[in-house]
Amino acid sequence: MRTTPLLLAVAGLTFTAAACGDDTTTTTNPPSTEAMTDDTMTDDSTMTDDSMMTDDSMMTDDSMMTDDTMHDEDMTDDTMMDGDMMLAPWQQLTLTDIDGNEFTLGDFMGKAVFVEHFATWCPNCRQQLADTNAAAAELGDDAIVIALSVETDLSAADIAEYAADNGFDHIRFAVMTPEFLAAVSDALGNTSINPPSTPHYVIDTHGVAGELVTGFEDPQAIVDAVHAAAM
């Protein structure tokens, strides 16, 4: 039998197939669409997280700024309220001086204020106001000296004439309103609206009114009382 050529042919075919297999090029397949989508989602998530962190930080900073601003406003409001709470209601009532300027006794916080109640028909008042005027001249800008007429029906012109006739040029004059008259009487007693007793008092730099004093006081006694209230 002649089998050798057949075997050689089979061997040749096998060798050729092996050689072809060695020449096969390895190709890297592109990532699947699902893999790309996952990567994209990861990147987007990272960007979103960063954006959220930035937004949260900005919101936190804005909130802190807003809170600080509100705190400052609250402090300002509290300070104003504290100042008003120190004042008695009658000290917050509006009066008008003989020059037409409106004011309250609470407007002079930070300075001592000497207040005298009087009437134009009262001789004791005229005598005491002379000493008060002398004290006011000595005190100058260190204090506020005010005289309030209990005659609620008088005009500013009437009081201005009274002050000019008596040379009371260092005192700030005004007429009590009916509301003020009633309020101060309730707070300090009926003696405070009895002109012949020459009622007067000092309000300290914190807006606290001292005790009602009656009777005559010389200029030096008034100056000393005002200085004591200013300390």
Query: Residue 86: what pLDDT?
Result: 74
Share of the chain above pLDDT 70, in %: 63
Range of the domain at 176: 91-230
| Helices 156-166 & 123-139 angle (0-180, nearest 10) | 80
Among 80-84, 103-107, 143-147, the range scoring the smallest mean pLDDT is 80-84
Q: 152 lies in a domain?
A: yes
52 in any annotated domain = no
- Round to whole Å and give the CA distance between 125 and 156: 18
pLDDT band at 1 (very low <50, low <70, confident <90, very high): very low
57 part of a folded domain: no
In tens, the pLDDT along 99-122 reads 999 999 999 999 999 999 999 999
pLDDT at 77 over 50: no
Q: Is residue 211 in some structural domain?
A: yes
Q: Look at residue 151 in the predicted model and tell me its pLDDT.
A: 98
Whether residue 147 lies inside any domain: the answer is yes
192 inside domain: yes
pTM, two decimal places: 0.65
Residue 102 lies in a domain: yes
In a domain, 184, yes or no: yes
Give the chain as a 3 state SS string.
Answer: CCCHHHHHHHHHHHHHHHHHHHCCCCCCCCCCHHHHHHHHHHHHHHHHHHHHHHHHHHHHHHHHHHHHHHHHHHHHHHHHHHHHHHCCHHHHCCEEECCCCEECHHHHCCCEEEEEEECCCCHHHHHHHHHHHHHHHHHHHHEEEEEEECCCCCCHHHHHHHHHHHCCCCCEEEECCHHHHHHHHHHHCHHHHCHHHCCEEEECCCCCECCCECCCCCHHHHHHHHHHHHC
What average pLDDT does the chain have? 78
Q: What would the pLDDT profile of 157-168 be if each residue is shown by its tens digit? A: 999 999 999 999
Domain count, the chain: 1
Q: What CATH number is attached to the domain comprising 122? A: 3.40.30.10
